[in-house]
A and B are shown apart, each in its own frame.
Chain A
C-alpha cells in the first residue's frame, strides 16, 4: 500500500509462528511429493490449495495445479463440467490474491487459465475483480499488467483504455501505473495513426497541458514528473536514428605514410597525416542513439582502393547488447604503392531496415560521405617513436601550434535536412515549458530544477541542429547553474547531477569552433608525426560526453578532473595518447572502454583510485569476471606460471592483455605497489617501453 505509514509488526507469538511454519513445511512436502508422483486426486489437489491459500508464492504448487487441471480436463467432455473446473481454478486464484494482491504466481496462473481458452471468459467478472483490486490499491502494477492483458485478450480499443487511465488519474494523479499505461497506449495509438491521433504534435501538446496541471498542483509528487520526462523524450529526440558524425569526415584528405613508424617532420602539413603502420584505415560512424544492424549491405563502401571484401562493422560499446552509438570498421589496404597516389573512398548509408534503434525505428536519412586517401611512400629512416617518454604539460598554458591549419571542424558534423522539418514545433513546445516552469514558485523543488535543466539541454540540442550557437551556449550556461544548485539541494543524487553537468559542460566547450579551438592544438614532438591534441583539464568532469566531436583526436589530456568513468572514449579510434591522471577512476574494469582503442600507445593512469574496487561501481552492467573468453584464460595461465595471484589481479589482467602500450603510468593508485604487479604488466604488455617513467629493459 502506498502513502501509508508502516506500522511496526506486532510481536509474533513464537509458538504459533513455529507451528505455522511446521504446517507450511508439511504442506509443501506433501504437494511436492504429489507433484513428483503425478498424483492428481481430489485430496492431493486440495492440499495444493491449502498451501496456496497460506502462501500464494509457492510457484511449484501453481505448476502442479496447471498439470492437474490439464489432467482433469482430458477426462471431461461436457463443456459445463470443463467450465466449472475452470471456474474453480479462477476462484483459487482469487483466494490467493486476497492473501497477496501482488503475487506473481497467482496473476500468472490466471493469465495462463484464460489463455488456455477452455471455457468462455466472463469478462464482466474479470473487470469486476480488477476494479475491486485497483480500488484497494490503484498503483498495483500487477493489476495494471493484467488489465493490459485483458484489453488485448478482449480486443478493447486503446482509446477506451486511454479513457480509463484518465479516470484513474482524475481519482488520484499520484499514480505511476496509470501514467505509464497512458504512455504505452498513446505510443500505440500514434504509431497506428488511429482516428484523432494523427497529429503527434497536437496529442503531445494536450498531454503536456494535462501533466502540468498535476505538476503545478503538487510539484512534490513524482509520478507526474516521470510522465513529463517521457513527454520530453518524445519531443526532443528525433523519431529515427541519425548519423551525426563520422571519421574520416566528408571531404577529408588523408595522407598515410606507408613507411614503418617513421616520418619526416618537414613534410607534415596536414593534420590528417597518419602513419599507416598496420596498413589499416579505420572508418567510424557515430549515431545519435544506439543502433544495430550495420553490415556490408546496410553500409555501402565504394573505392578504387584495394581492400579486403569482407567488411566487418564492430559495435564500439562496452555492453554486449548489440546496440551502439558508435560503429567502426577497418579497411585493410592491399595496395602496393610505389609513389604518392590518391584514392577516394565513398561511404553511403541508404534508408535501411537493417539499421534499427532500440525503440525499433529504422534509419531513414540517406547519407553519402566521400574522402580521399593519399598514400605516401617516402623516407627510409627508421625512427623509434617512443625513445623518450611522452611528457604531459597540462599545467602550462596551452598554446596553439603555429603550424596548425584550421581544422575542418564544420565538416565533422552531419546535418540532415530531415531533422529541421518539425524542430520548430519541438523548439516552441520546449520553450513554452521552460517559461512555464520558470514561473513555478517552488524555490527549492529538485524536480523543477532538474526538469528545467533537461528542457534547456533539449533546447540546446535542437539549436545545434539549427546552428544557433550563441543561444545554445546560453542554454548550457543556465543548465549548468541548475545542476550546481541541485548538487547542493539533493546531495543523495550528487553523482548523477555531476555526470549531467559534465555532459553539459562538454557540450558547451565543444559546440562551437571558437571555444573548442582554445582546447585544441597540433602536438609536434621530436621524431613523431604531428598529432591532434585536445586538452580538457581541471574542469571537474566526471564523465565523457559528446565523444562524436572528439573522434579525430589523437592526443587527449583529461587530467585533473573527477572522472569516474571513461565510457565514450571507445569511439576515439585515432587516439594514441591518453592522460587521465589525477581523476577518480576506481577500478580496472572502469577502463574497459580503452580496450577498444587499438591505436592507444601512451596511457597515464597515475593518481587515481584504481584498485579501490574490482568492479566498476558507476555502471549497472559489467561483464562478469567469470565470462572471459579463451584468450583471457591463456593470460591467466601465463600469469599463474609466473606466480602472480590471478584471483587478486584478474581485473588488471583482463585490461592489460588487450592493450598494446608503449608507455604506462600507474603510480599513485590503490593497486598494491608490489613487485609482482610490475611483473604482471611486463608479461601482459610486451610492447611496453616506459613504465612509471622508467625505461623497461
Chain B
C-alpha cells in the first residue's frame, strides 16, 4: 500500500503513543476514511472548511479499503472485545455530555477454504468487490474534477461481460459488431436486439439533445412516457426480445439485482426508465477513453486506492489527517442535544460544527432503541473472494460474469432462494492485485438471509470452478480427450462472508453509507452528495475549479 498523504499521524511508535492535535476546533471532524467520508473531506476542504480526518486503522479506506490477503480473516471476524473505551468513560466533562462510541460488526459468517498460495501478501483484496467504475459515471467525473485522477491509474475490464446461461458462459453482445459476430444468436434475435439498441440510442440522443427552437423532442425517436413507466421486462418482451436476450439486457447490461420474471410483484422490478438510464451510462462509457476497451474500468492496486486519492485531494486543500486514531466518544451539547465534538482515543477533546462518522460505528441515538434486534430485516450482501489458476475467458485478463436469478435451475431446492443475480468480477495480475499466473474473482449477491446468500455464492463458484483435489495438487486426472481449453479453472482458495448494509444518516451527526450490493459507486456517491448538501446547502460539491490546473489533459485517457 502506498503511503498516505502528509498527515500528522505518527506512523511509527506504540499504539497508544497518540499525537496531540492543534488546533482543537474544526469546522468538520470526520472519522473513518471510507470512500464517502474521503469524498466529503475533499469536498469540505475544497469549500474552504477546516477539516480533521481521523481513522482508527493504520491504513486508508475503512470499509472501502483493499487489504493484504493475510489480514482478511482477522478483518472479517474482529475480536469481539473491541477496546473502544480506552478513554475514561466520563459521564460528563465540563459543559458537554460524553457519549461512548461503539463499533458494530459489519461482517459475519466468514468461511474460507483452501490454502492461499504463497506469497500470500502479493494478493490484495477489496472489501467492496465485485466493483467497477463505468467510464462515464459520477465517480470518474469526481476524480477528474477533484484532481484525484492524478493519484489513481485504471485498467479496463477488457474481456467484457459474460452471462451464465444454460450452463455456459455466453459473451454478452452489446454493440452492432458483437451482435454480428455472435454465432449463437438466431437471425431474428439479432434483428430484435440491435433494433432495441438502436431505439434506446435514438431515445437517449433525442432526450439528451438540447431542445431546438421549437422546444420539441422528436417524438418518433423516443420511447413513450407510458412505456417508460412499464416494468423493463415487459417493455423488452414487447420489443420482441427472446428470454435469453431479455436476460442479457436485464442482468448483464441494466444490472438488475432481482428476478424480473418473478410472479411476486413485491420484489424490485426495474422500470423501463431506470433500465434505459443504465444502458445510456453503459453506452456512453464505451469509447469514452481511447485506451479503455468496453464500458468498465478498475483501479490498479484495488479499490482502496480511491478513498486514498480523495484524501490526498483533501490534504492538498488543507485537511489534517491522523491515522491510528480511534474516536472514543462523542461530545454532546447538553442543552441543545447536539453533537459538538469528539473525544479521541488520546483523550483529547476536539470541538467541531459538524461530525461525520464511519458507518461501522453505531450511531448512539439511533442504535439504542433497536440495538441488534432488527438485524434480520437489515439489507445484506453475501460476498465471495476466490483465487484460481486460469482465466474464465480465454485470452482475457479481466471479465465480468453475471449469473441471472435462478441460474441453477436444475437444483430445485435452491431455486427459491435464488431470487437475486450473482455478479462476479475476474481480475488478473495486470491490475497488481495478484501474482502473475493467478486470477482473483469477487462475487456478490444481495440477500436478506445470510446463509441463503452464501449458498448462492457457493453455487456460482461451483458452476465455474472445479474443486482442488484433496491432496492439494491441481487436477491433472482429466480424461485425455478433453482439450485443455474446456477444463474449468481450478479453485485454489475461497472465502465467503456476509456484509450488512446500513444506510447513511444525516443530522448533526452524519453517518456515511456502507458499501452496497451494486457493481458501481453511483448510489453511494449520490447519498454522499446529499449529505454534503445537508451540511452546506450553499456550497458547490467539488466544483470543477477545485481541481489543480492540469486536470483537463487527462480527460481523454484512463492512465
Contact = CB atoms under 8 A, between A and B. Distances in A.
Contacts of A441: 188, 191-192, 240
Contact of B180 (A217, A219, A436): A217
Nearest to A170: B181
B179 to A, nearest CB: 5
Interface in A305-362: none
B181 A216 contact: no
A214 B180 contact: yes
> Which of B180, B181, B192, B240 gathers most chain A CB within 10 Å?
B180
B188 A213 contact: no
Q: Which one of B187, B194, B198 has the greatest number of beta carbons of chain A within 10 Å? A: B187
A164 to B, nearest CB: 16
A440 interface: yes
A211 to B, nearest CB: 10
A442 interface: yes
A216 B192 CA distance: 9
Contact of B187 (A170, A174, A212): A212
B423 interface: no
**Interface-centre pick from A172, A218, A442 (highest chain B CB count, 10 A):** A218
Nearest to B191: A216
B194 A218 contact: yes
Nearest to A436: B187
B180 A173 contact: yes
A89 B187 CA distance: 50
A171 interface: yes
B187 A213 contact: yes
Contacts of A267: none
Contacts of B187: 212-213, 216, 436, 439-440
B177 A172 contact: yes
A217 B198 CA distance: 11
Contacts of B192: 441
Interface of B is mostly: helix
Contact of A216 (B177, B190, B198, B240): B190
Interface in A415-445: 436, 439-442
A440 B194 CA distance: 13
A585 B41 CA distance: 82
A561 to B, nearest CB: 38
Contacts of B268: none
A165 to B, nearest CB: 14
Given A439-B188, A441-B188, A441-B191, A217 B179 contact: yes
B240 A217 contact: no
A660 to B, nearest CB: 60
Contacts of B181: 170
Contacts of A214: 180
A171 B178 CA distance: 9
Interface in B165-191: 176-177, 179-181, 187-188, 190-191
Contacts of A170: 177, 180-181
A173 B192 CA distance: 18
A442 B177 contact: no
Contacts of B194: 217-218
Interface in A194-248: 212-214, 216-219
Interface string A171-193: 11110000000000000000000
B191 A213 contact: no
A402 B436 CA distance: 96
A218 B176 contact: yes
Contacts of A174: 176
A440 B191 contact: yes
A171 B190 contact: no
B453 to A, nearest CB: 38
Contacts of A218: 176, 194, 198
Interface residues of A, number: 17
Nearest to A171: B177
A410 B194 CA distance: 51
Nearest to A212: B187
A441 B186 CA distance: 14
A264 to B, nearest CB: 69
B178 to A, nearest CB: 10
A217 B195 CA distance: 8
A170 B181 CA distance: 6
A436 B190 CA distance: 13
Contacts of B177: 170-173
Nearest to B192: A441
B159 to A, nearest CB: 17
B191 A219 contact: yes
A213 B187 CA distance: 6
Given A170-B181, A173-B177, A173-B180, A213 B190 contact: yes
Contact of B188 (A171, A172, A173, A216): A216
Contact of A442 (B180, B190, B191): B191
A585 to B, nearest CB: 41
B268 to A, nearest CB: 32
Interface in B400-450: none
A440 B192 CA distance: 10
A210 to B, nearest CB: 9
A92 B191 CA distance: 47
Contacts of A173: 176-177, 180
B188 A217 contact: no
A172 B177 CA distance: 6
A606 B192 CA distance: 54
A172 B192 CA distance: 19
A172 B179 CA distance: 11
Contacts of A442: 191
Nearest to B187: A216
Contacts of B188: 216, 439-441
Contacts of B176: 173-174, 217-218
A119 B194 CA distance: 51
Interface string B106-122: 00000000000000000
Nearest to B173: A217
Nearest to A219: B191
Nearest to A216: B187
Nearest to A442: B191
Interface in B197-247: 198, 240
Which of B188, B191, B192, B240 counts the most chain A CB atoms within 10 A?
Answer: B191
A451 B188 CA distance: 17
A218 B194 CA distance: 7
Interface string A438-460: 01111000000000000000000
Contacts of A171: 177
B240 A213 contact: no
A442 B179 CA distance: 17
Contacts of B179: 217
Contacts of A219: 191
Nearest to B179: A217
Contacts of B198: 218
B377 to A, nearest CB: 47
Interface-central residue, A171, A172, A174, A213, by most chain B CB under 10 Å: A213
Nearest to B198: A218
Contacts of A212: 187
B242 to A, nearest CB: 13
Of the listed residues A212, A217, A441, the one surrounded by the most CB atoms of chain B closer than 10 A to its CB is A217
A679 B554 CA distance: 83
A219 to B, nearest CB: 7
A219 B180 CA distance: 12
A216 B187 CA distance: 6
A440 B191 CA distance: 8
Nearest to A220: B198
A278 to B, nearest CB: 61
A160 to B, nearest CB: 20
In the A-B complex, the 3 residue pairs with the smallest Cβ-Cβ separation, listed nearest first, are: A216-B187, A217-B180, A216-B191
16 contacts: A170-B180, A171-B177, A173-B176, A173-B177, A212-B187, A213-B180, A213-B190, A216-B187, A216-B188, A216-B190, A217-B179, A217-B194, A218-B198, A439-B188, A440-B191, A441-B188
Given A216-B188, A440-B188, 8 more contacts: A171-B177, A173-B180, A214-B180, A216-B187, A217-B176, A218-B198, A440-B191, A441-B191
